[in-house]
């Protein structure tokens, strides 16, 4: 991952968090008070750190190292009297160029949103919520020979520079390389559009991490969010 791509990724995330364009420069920690927010963000990305939250949280976390602050138990302890709950805890992986790892299986592909939603409906609700296939702009759905939707990778533009990818496969067809194939196609499409593909993989999700590694994604950081009931 060269410095040009790192700058693009840092800029996209700085804008996503409402920070200044240079806030996520390397070896710098951005700590921003946002008293009206109901979501606390803690980010470590390519040697840049940030936390964004209400004043009471920032005061409590003032002496905590970002690496420590990213851990859910500490965040829950700091926010428990404000109803804190972990909304997301994800590893961030990025692809800077076309991959040499091309899935060998030829897939029958649909780009229809309805087929993507059919994949979501065939999966456990928690999986479908995390994948959030509905809120995307481009879909790549692997179909069976009888045109049943089996697996989907999709993306939406993220702050104009990054393609935020997600993937989901119906339970009966997992571990069949379908997610790898559809994610490959979605990532190639994003690169064609001049975007840097990004995967946000729930920490500890070994299947998602394995797909990212197989396709040549580089893991660059962790993003944790905490929803609070009151600022």
Q: How far is Cα 97 from Cα 99, in angstroms, rounded to an integer?
A: 6
Laid out side by side, the sheet with 162-169 consists of: 28-33, 48-53, 39-45, 218-227, 85-94, 196-202, 162-169, 149-158, 138-143, 108-110
Q: Give the per-residue pLDDT at 210.
A: 95
- Please tell me whether residue 52 adopts helix, strand or coil conformation: strand
> Cα-flanking dihedrals φ and ψ of residue 28, to 5°?
-130, 145
Q: Give the per-residue pLDDT at 175.
A: 86
Residue carrying the six token digits 């840092």: 10
| Residue 23 CA from chain centroid, whole number | 20
Q: Give the per-residue pLDDT at 230.
A: 64
Which residues touch 151 (CB under 8 Å, ≥6 apart)? 119, 141, 142, 167, 168, 169, 170, 173, 178, 179, 181, 182
Concatenated DSSP letters of 62-114:
TTS-HHHHTSHHHHHHHHGGGT-EEEEEEEEEE--S--S---SS--EEE--HH
Q: Give the per-residue pLDDT at 160.
A: 94
User: Long-range contact list for 170-177, CB < 8 A, 24+ apart?
Assistant: 170/119, 170/122, 170/123, 171/122, 171/123, 171/124, 174/207, 175/207, 177/103, 177/105
Beta bridge partners of 32: 52
Query: Inter-axis angle of helices 178-192 and 206-214, to 10 degrees?
Result: 50
* pLDDT 10s digits, 168-212: 999 999 988 899 999 999 999 999 999 999 999 999 999 999 999
The H or E element spanning position 56 is helix 55-60
User: Long-range contact list for 117-121, CB < 8 A, 24+ apart?
Assistant: 118/148, 118/149, 119/149, 119/150, 119/151, 119/152, 119/168, 119/169, 119/170, 120/152, 120/168
Q: How many CB atoms lie within 10 A of CB 142?
A: 27
List of domains in the chain: 3-90+222-227 (no CATH), 108-215 (3.40.630.30)
| Ranges of the chain with pLDDT below 50 | none
Q: Give the per-residue pLDDT at 231.
A: 53
């Amino acid at each position: 991952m060269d410095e040009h791509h790192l700058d693009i990724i840092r800029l996209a995330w700085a804008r996503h968090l409402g920070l200044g364009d240079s806030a996520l420069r390397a070896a710098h920690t951005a700590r921003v008070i946002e008293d009206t927010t109901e979501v606390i963000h803690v980010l470590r990305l390519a040697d840049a750190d940030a936390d964004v939250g209400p004043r009471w949280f920032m005061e409590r976390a003032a002496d905590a190292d970002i690496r420590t602050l990213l851990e859910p138990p500490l965040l829950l302890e700091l926010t428990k009297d404000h109803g804190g709950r972990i909304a997301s805890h994800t590893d961030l992986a990025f692809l800077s160029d076309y991959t040499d790892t091309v899935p060998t299986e030829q897939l029958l592909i649909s780009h229809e949103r309805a087929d993507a939603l059919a994949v979501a409906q065939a999966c456990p609700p928690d999986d479908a919520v995390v994948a959030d296939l509905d809120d995307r702009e481009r879909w790549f759905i692997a179909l069976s020979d009888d045109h049943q939707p089996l697996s989907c990778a999709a993306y939406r533009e993220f702050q104009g520079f990054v393609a935020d990818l997600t993937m989901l496969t119906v339970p009966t067809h997992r571990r069949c390389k379908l997610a790898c194939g559809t994610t490959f196609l979605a990532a190639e499409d994003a690169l064609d559009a001049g975007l840097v593909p990004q995967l946000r993989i729930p920490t500890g999700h070994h299947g998602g991490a394995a797909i990212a590694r197989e396709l040549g994604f580089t893991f660059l950081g962790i993003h944790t969010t905490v929803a609070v009931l009151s600022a």
